[in-house]
Amino acid sequence: MIKGNCMTTAMGIMPHTDIDEAIKLALSLDIPFWPQLPKVSLYEDMYVQISEKFPGILVNEGEKRVELVLEKFYEELDQYALNMGEDSYFTMSPAYSKVYHRFLEQDLKDYEMIRGQTIGPVSFGLQIKDQLKKPIIYNDDIRGLMFDFIARKIQIQYQELVEKNKNAFVWIDEPGLEMLFMSFTGYTSERAKKDLTGFLANIPGPKGIHLCGNPDWSFLLTLDLDILSVDVLMWGHIFTRYFEQLKGFLDKGGIISWGIIPTDTGEMVEENVNSLVNKIEEMWDYLENKGVSKKMLAEQAWFAPARCCLINDDGAHTVTNSFNVLKEVAKVIKERHL
């Protein structure tokens, strides 16, 4: 069973432009991770990183976007088939993340756990479009290969991280899951659940999903997950209403990563350690009244910033401060309930 015990971690995307500074900050948490720093390079963007060697992909550096060219996709399929048996084909090269390789150079063996991350297949498939502006997840020829490709990329990242720490894991960032429950998507939640169930079965180590949005939480709480990372600062009042599914998730040993610390400058000036602790206590009071004990919640809780933020006028200052506040909030909750 994975330990919770109010340990701290954070989202992968950070606004820093100094790689060493970002890694030092990530290493200051209980569960460090390799940062994704899109302000350093387009190739530190999570959509670009996962696209390396996917058939048909074109990285448009001028327009700072990734697209799939259908003709190129079909032309490259044979070459992909020849290489897919080679693990090295799916590793992330330094060209696609200097930060990841810098992280692997650190001494990580003494941490309780370490974490990697990647964009998930649903979000990638909804975000990346072909030249007709059609999301590639709608293309039956592409979708199955895409789920398999991302699973293979995660398998290799997991292997590389486990060499640094035996308790490594890789979670997937799935902001696009929120779109599944909107009327305009042509990719249904029923299809997504079937695809994700098969996908998760191929993921080694603890299985986690992170997202900052507000999907149908019963969809996620009933997937075969070990970890669910939630922006409870924004959506906790809704998330906790799924108390029956949440209790079921905890009963099977699941970890909730409570994203409670603001990363936006405007939000941060309105909060402090006490106010954020009180927000957690209010949510936990509600859940305890519904039959979920605070002891269980604390034992199976991590704490994290609420969401990624790249737009603050102060650059990395607010996000750096949020990591410091995070450690204080986690300490108070831990002292109260463990």
| CATH number assigned to the domain comprising residue 166 | 3.20.20.210
Q: What is the pLDDT of residue 184?
A: 64
Residues 290-310 have pLDDT tens digits of 999 999 999 999 999 999 999
Q: What is the pLDDT of residue 220?
A: 97
Q: Are 172 and 154 in contact (CB under 8 A)?
A: yes
Least confident of 50-59, 127-136, 180-189, 218-227: 180-189
Side-chain-facing half-sphere of 332: CA atoms under 13 Å: 15
Q: What is the pLDDT of residue 225?
A: 98
User: DSSP 3-state assignment of 72?
Assistant: helix
Residues 34-53 have pLDDT tens digits of 999 999 999 999 999 999 99
Q: Are 120 and 173 in contact (CB under 8 A)?
A: yes
DSSP 8-state secondary structure symbol assigned to residue 36: B
Q: What is the mean pLDDT of residues 310-321?
A: 96
Residue 211 has pLDDT above 70, yes or no: yes
Q: What is the mean pLDDT of residues 199-218?
A: 96
Angle between helices 140-162 and 189-200 (to 10 degrees): 40
Q: Is 69 inside a domain boundary?
A: yes
Count how many domains the chain has. 1
Share above pLDDT 70 across residues of the chain, in percent, rounded to a whole number: 99
- Measured CA to CA, the distance from residue 24 to residue 26 in angstroms comes to 5
Q: What is the pLDDT of residue 185?
A: 67
User: 258: which residues sit within 8 A by CB, 6+ positions away?
Assistant: 230, 232, 236, 280, 301, 302, 303, 304
Residue 166 is encoded by which pair of tokens?
Answer: 């035996």
Range of the domain at 333: 7-337
DSSP 8-state secondary structure symbol assigned to residue 133: S
Q: Is 1 inside a domain boundary?
A: no
- Residue at 13: amino acid letter: I
Residue 198 neighbours by CB distance under 10 Å: 13
Q: Is 176 inside a domain boundary?
A: yes
The helix, strand and coil proportions of the chain, stated in percent and rounded to the nearest 5, come to 50, 15, 35
Q: What is the mean pLDDT of residues 9-26?
A: 97
Q: Is 109 inside a domain boundary?
A: yes
Q: What is the pLDDT of residue 188?
A: 87
| Closest to 15 in 3D by CA, of 47, 40, 48 | 40
Q: Is 159 inside a domain boundary?
A: yes
Residue 179 has pLDDT above 90, yes or no: no
What is the average pLDDT value for the chain, to the nearest integer? 96
At residue 241's C-alpha, the angle toward residues 238 and 242, to 5°, is 105
Q: What is the pLDDT of residue 27?
A: 98
| Closest to 200 in 3D by CA, of 222, 233, 176, 179 | 222
Residues 134-168 have pLDDT tens digits of 999 999 999 999 999 999 999 999 999 999 999 99
Q: What is the pLDDT of residue 145?
A: 98
Q: Is 105 inside a domain boundary?
A: yes
Q: Is 317 inside a domain boundary?
A: yes
Q: Is 129 inside a domain boundary?
A: yes
Q: What is the pLDDT of residue 180?
A: 84
For strand 57-60 and strand 168-173, is the pairing parallel, antiparallel, or unpaired?
unpaired
Q: Are 125 and 186 in contact (CB under 8 A)?
A: no
